[in-house]
Structures are given as C-alpha cells and as structure tokens.
Structure 1
C-alpha cells in the first residue's frame, strides 16, 4: 500500500544521495563541474568574406559567446584558398579554445580534392564542434524563362542547352547539375563565378537562364519576381517556399542529391580538450533559441534545422565529405 506520509527535507536529501550513489544524477552534476571558462579573448576566424552567411553566423556566435563566457570574442575574416587560409591560421594556433574557425563545411570537404597541396589536412588538423544550417539552397530560373517546373526544365534542356550559373568551382550545385544531366540527358552550359553576387547580377539581367543560392542572396530577387524557384537543391522543404520540391521529392536520389549538404561549421585546432568542445557545442545548441542575433540570421536564411554536434555531426561529416571528394575527383575539378 502506498505511504501517505509527507516527504521530509531529510528524506528528500536521502533520496538525492541515493540517486547520486546510483549514478542517476552524474550527467547533470558533471556538466556543472566541467564547464570550460576561457582565460582571455576568443578569436573566431571566418573563412568567407564579410556579407556571406558564414560571416553573419560567425558574428552572431561572437556576440552570444561573449555574453555567456564573459570575455571579448572577435571575428577576423580570412577568405581564400578553399578555406585553407583561415584553416591554417586556426590549425597552427594553440588548442586551448581561444582560436576557432567558422567555415562552410563544403570547403573543408573539398580542399583535399581541389588542391594539390592543401595547407592542412582538415580531417586531422581541425576538430568539428558544431554545424548549423545555411537554410535551403534554391535552384531558380530567370523570370522570363519559358518553363515553370523542374520536369519541364529537364524536357526543355533535352532539346536545347540551358545556361547555368555556378557560384563556386566544385560546389555541390555543380555536381548535382552534372548528375542530373547524366541521368536525364538534359544539357547544361555551366558558367563558374567567384561568388553568388556576380552570378545573380547576370541571372537577373538575363545573361544566364538558371542559378542557385541561399535565401540570403536570392531572397530579394524572389520577392521582386526577378527569378522563380523550381527546386530546393540543398536542404529540406521550406515554409518560405511552399510547394517547391527537393530533389528526392522529384524522384532523384543517391549520394550526390542527398549527401552534399551545406552548413556553417565551427571547428577548433586538433587537440582541443573535450570540455572546451562540449561547452561550445552546448552554446551553439542554445543560441538558436536564446540569441536574438542568431535567430535573426536564421530567419533571414529560413534555416529551420537543429544544430549538429557530437556523434550526429561526425556521422554527417562521415557521409558528406567522402561524397564531395569522390565526385570532385571523378569530375576532374581542380582549383590549382
């Protein structure tokens, strides 16, 4: 028969002690006892130029990390070299949590395949902490292009080549187009650009027929009706793009269509203590609800994902990076 006696403070304390003895409260106590506290300002090196989603994410992190850790956090942009300029600067720093990198995960995936002599080995010289999405990467057509769906585009491109802009050599978008052509017989003339901005200028002007990018770049053009979306090339369906299908929705499956995701990746030098990694990973996880600046960046990007950390992040990298590298080598793409 259950007891109706009230629980006394002593009994409550005894229950807690029993739980601790049984090991049931150790995870929570461990978090409180092992949280890392920096001893000097933190530097976040951003591998992309100011204005990119990666830069906006790095600056949002810097604001939140500074509030939570109680030290200044500065952002330094070091673009170039498929992320290797920034990557080397961080990998050669002391592994104590005070120097970090925020970069596109595809850059770290691609560098060993695109460069003959990359400055560092991203797999060995850096350790991943957390990844946060860039939102959907959307495939769009110029407003006057005479089709409105992916199926109609493929049918059109089988008869006449479509001029397509590629925002970066070796991008997942480039690989997806190559695979789409291989599977369907569609014809695409690819023009490589050094960044999304230059590509969008030509797309909006009608010099090319098709392109792709995040909503940070394409949002204005979509709102003004300068382009029309036909597919979500990277990422999941978005509430801001109702009815726009993903590759898998359209029936295209396999590693190239499913594993070439894009994310902004926070990393530290190899050898950084696990307590530092865990502390920063928890901050990234909490930032999407607690940081107004992080939330603002994500709203602009229409990013609705949950940050990847720990085993989930390692699994993601284990699928994505080998696919990028294999396809890059098979296509013979090189940045040298």
Structure 2
C-alpha cells in the first residue's frame, strides 16, 4: 500500500526530508533507486505536453526538448495529449514508471483546479506528481476588437454598465475566467463569458467582432495586435511590458484581491511520484540553464514576453502553496464544476 504522505510543499525542513526518504523507501529499494538515477538517461525521454500543438505550452516544451537532447545526448521527444482539463496528459505521466523517462509539461492552473473543478479527477496532482520546475507563460493580456467603443480598461467597465460586454474565454476554468468572475463581483459589470476550446477559436470570433473582448498570452494575441484587428486593454498576468507601452496591470487599476495578485499562469515540468530526487534535481538544473544557453528557449521567452527566472526547489513549493489554494477557492466561489 502506498504511504499517505502530505504534499511536499505543505511540510517544511527536517520533516519534509524525512518524508521524502520514507517515500523513496516505500516505492523501491534504495540501492536500486540510486543505481537508476546514476545510469539516467540511457534511452529516449518523452515529455507529455498537456496542450495542443501551436500553443505556448507546446512551443516551450519543444524548446526545452531540443536543449535537453543536446545536453543529455539522448532523444527527447514531445507528445501532445490535450483535453480533459490537462488530466489526460497528467494521468499518463502519473501512471508511468518513476524513472525519469516520462515527464509532464502542463499549465499549472489545470493541476491546481482539478480536485475542485472535476467531480471525479483521475489522479490527485499533489500526491501523484512531483513538481520539478516552472517557467512563466509570460505576459497575459486582455484585448478588445478594434471596433469596440472602448479604448482602455476604464472605458470597458463604463461600457459594461450600459450594456453587456461579451468576454471570450479560451478554456473553462481558466485563470482569466476566474478573474472575470471576481471583476463582476467587485464592480457589478455586465460581463458575459463565452467559452471556447482553445485560443484559436476564440481569436477567430474576436477578430470577426462576434465577441467584444478576450485574453491570452502575448504570443497568442500578437497576430491580432500586430494586424490592428485587436487593441490591448489590460495586462492580466505579469508586470508591465515594454512591448505594450502604457498598458496597465490589475494593480495599476486598483484591483488587488488574491485572484488578481496570485493567479499567475506558468508551464510546469513534473514527474511521477517516486521520481529519484537526483533526476528531478538534474532536470531542474537543465531548465534553469536553458534560459541562458538555448537560443530556442530564449526566442520563445522573448515571444512570450517572459523575463522571470524559472522556479525550482523551495521557491517552487512556496509558489504552489500560495497560488493553488487561490485557484481552488476562486473556482469554488463561482460553483464551477465539470463532469
């Protein structure tokens, strides 16, 4: 029987180290675990990406795979398994051998929300997966159709008091959806959420004027912004960007509740529970080095507007401990559940 162990970011110091040691001993004999780590990698590695090809998740995963391949001298391939609020990919990895050859790369928000968003989640992300590293998805931006009679955030709110404003949402349960719900609660704005299966479908309707506003990564919105079909309204995630001069953040507009402060999106690299710590540490080191050593990683980060240092170790555990409860509380607050 697998030991019941609290998530590693909820315990600290000496107790956490003891629990890790106990978990490793419970899963497999320690000499075998050490030997497995010492011989890793000896064959190709799979990174299971939880989002579709062409997404920022996919682009970042492929950039890392290229760098890992060059350093580790074994093929590192990306397989896309989108759907199920990220749980198709997450379950694939959680059920795999904890040997460092099958890894998950997903939006951390989906792992945070699964226990409250899904009636019967197939896994418990906090117990069945081990976080290795997290990288920012960069600047998130709220945009509007070019013909909307509102050119900044205050004008969008003013318009919403006169008539409903339709809001495109790239995925049910997204941080953006939770922010919109909180904004309605705090301001009384008439904001009607329209759910889509991905950014591409939402962008099509937004550019055509079928909906008023939407949001996504700077990379995802860049085509519409560059063509003039969309106009930037607000930075919803990340700091002010020199690529969006003059565009304010939530804090700039006076919105400082936890939903607006803490719902930062990032892509997270994880392994199955029982992953040898040495392998996890080596992967975390590679992620950190990649942002200065890989031209492909640098290019993707530049496109995303990402300047943050990857999170690993204690910083990553603290991030999860702060942000995941905010996602879960906000999801519960609006009564959002999926079958």
TM-score range (shorter-chain normalised) is: 0.7 to 0.9
Number of residue equivalences: 303
Structure 1: how far apart are the matches of 2:284 and 2:297? 14
Q: 2:257 aligns with which of 254, 258, 275?
A: 254
Q: Which residue of 2 aligns with 1:211?
A: 214
Structure 1: how far apart are the matches of 2:194 and 2:322? 28
Q: Which residue of 2 aligns with 1:174?
A: 177
Structure 2 contact 40–100 (Cα < 8 Å) conserved = no
Q: 2:144 aligns with which of 134, 141, 147?
A: 141
Q: Which residue of 2 aligns with 1:289?
A: 292
Coordinate RMSD, CA, aligned: 1.3
Structure 2: how far apart are the matches of 1:295 and 1:64? 11
In the TM superposition, 1:301-316 aligns within 5 A as 301-316=304-319
Structure 2: how far apart are the matches of 1:213 and 1:186? 21
Q: Which residue of 2 aligns with 1:28?
A: none
Pair 1:326 & 2:306 matched: no
Structure 1: how far apart are the matches of 2:136 and 2:199? 17
Pair 1:51 & 2:54 matched: yes
Q: SS of 2:253's equivalent? A: coil
Q: Which residue of 2 aligns with 1:10?
A: none
Pair 1:268 & 2:276 matched: no
Q: SS of 1:165's equivalent? A: strand
Structure 1 contact 37–69 (Cα < 8 Å) conserved = no
Structure 1, unmatched stretches of 5+, are: 1-33
Deviation at 1:37, TM superposition (A): 3.8
Pair 1:245 & 2:224 matched: no
Q: SS of 1:138's equivalent? A: strand
Q: Which residue of 2 aligns with 1:158?
A: 161
Structure 1: how far apart are the matches of 2:109 and 2:85? 9
Pair 1:67 & 2:58 matched: no
Structure 1 contact 164–188 (Cα < 8 Å) conserved = yes
Report the TM-score when normalising by structure 2: 0.87
Q: Deviations over 1:190-242 (max 9, x none)?
A: 11111111111011001111000112221011011111111011111112111
Deviation at 1:259, TM superposition (A): 0.8
Structure 2 contact 133–287 (Cα < 8 Å) conserved = yes
Q: Which residue of 2 aligns with 1:124?
A: 127
Q: 2:234 aligns with which of 219, 224, 231?
A: 231
Structure 2: how far apart are the matches of 1:60 and 1:319? 28
Structure 1: how far apart are the matches of 2:150 and 2:84? 37
Q: Deviations over 1:39-94 (max 9, x none)?
A: 22111111111111111111111111111111111111111111111111111111
Structure 2: how far apart are the matches of 1:246 and 1:282? 32
Report the TM-score when normalising by structure 1: 0.88
Structure 2: how far apart are the matches of 1:274 and 1:254? 36
- Larger radius of gyration between Structure 1 and Structure 2: 1
Structure 2 contact 232–247 (Cα < 8 Å) conserved = yes
